[in-house]
């Protein structure tokens, strides 16, 4: 179906940031059931790189842009960013910036409007925390589920453990009979 989003988010990044940051982030988001367009997940041998990126950009509800010094100097990430900007102009929030080792002044020289957006500062957080912040925007339903599971796990950890001797367990209580 034309125009339908099949991805929750597209991750735009420089290849230099893949190993230490982007790949672990994409894995964590996918583990938490977010549909992520990430080149390592989406591209197969023989695929057209530009066609696949264009489709990922067009069919993603959000664009997570990992802004780093490497990103600011490369053509492909800038191409992806321009595609996301074109989609965002005149519509709702689409671009979710993550600053990876850059400052506001670095970004102001590259794109003043992008420097104005509230961003996640990656050096201040771990991958799991960054993924959760992004999921709150990209998939609030999943974020709520994660929160509920964490509350349940905490309650289970803090719940008192009661030990019952085997001799006090009544066997008839363990079986359901149909009469």
Residue 161 is given by DSSP the state P
- Calculated CA dihedral for residues 14, 18, 23, 24, nearest 10 degrees: -120
Is there a contact between 81 and 17 (Cβ–Cβ < 8 Å)? no
User: Rounded distance, CA 120 to CA 152, Å?
Assistant: 28
Is there a contact between 26 and 134 (Cβ–Cβ < 8 Å)? no
Catalytic, 80? Answer yes
| Catalytic site residue from 4, 16, 55, 80 | 80
Tokens of 25: 């982030």
What one-character-per-residue DSSP string does 119-143 give?
Answer: -EEGGGS-HHHHHHHHHHHH-HHHH
Q: What is the Cα 55 distance to its own chain's centre?
A: 18
Spatial CA neighbour of 138 closest among 103, 85, 92, 99? 92
Residues labelled catalytic = 80
């Amino acid at each position: 179906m034309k125009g339908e989003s099949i991805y929750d988010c597209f991750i735009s990044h420089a290849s230099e940031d893949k190993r230490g940051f982007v790949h672990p982030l994409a894995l964590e988001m996918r583990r938490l059931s977010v549909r992520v367009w990430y080149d390592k997940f989406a591209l197969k041998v023989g695929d057209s790189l530009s066609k696949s990126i264009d489709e990922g950009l067009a069919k993603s509800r959000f664009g997570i842009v990992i802004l780093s010094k490497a990103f600011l100097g490369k053509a492909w990430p800038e191409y992806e960013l321009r595609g996301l900007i074109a989609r965002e102009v005149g519509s709702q929030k689409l671009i979710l910036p993550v600053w990876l080792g850059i400052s506001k002044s670095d970004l102001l020289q590259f794109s003043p409007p992008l420097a104005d957006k509230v961003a996640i500062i990656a050096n201040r957080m771990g991958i799991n925390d960054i993924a959760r912040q992004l999921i709150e925007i990209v998939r609030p339903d999943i974020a709520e589920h994660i929160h509920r599971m964490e509350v349940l796990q905490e309650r289970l950890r803090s719940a008192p453990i009661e030990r019952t001797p085997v001799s006090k367990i009544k066997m008839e209580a363990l079986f359901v009979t149909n009469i």
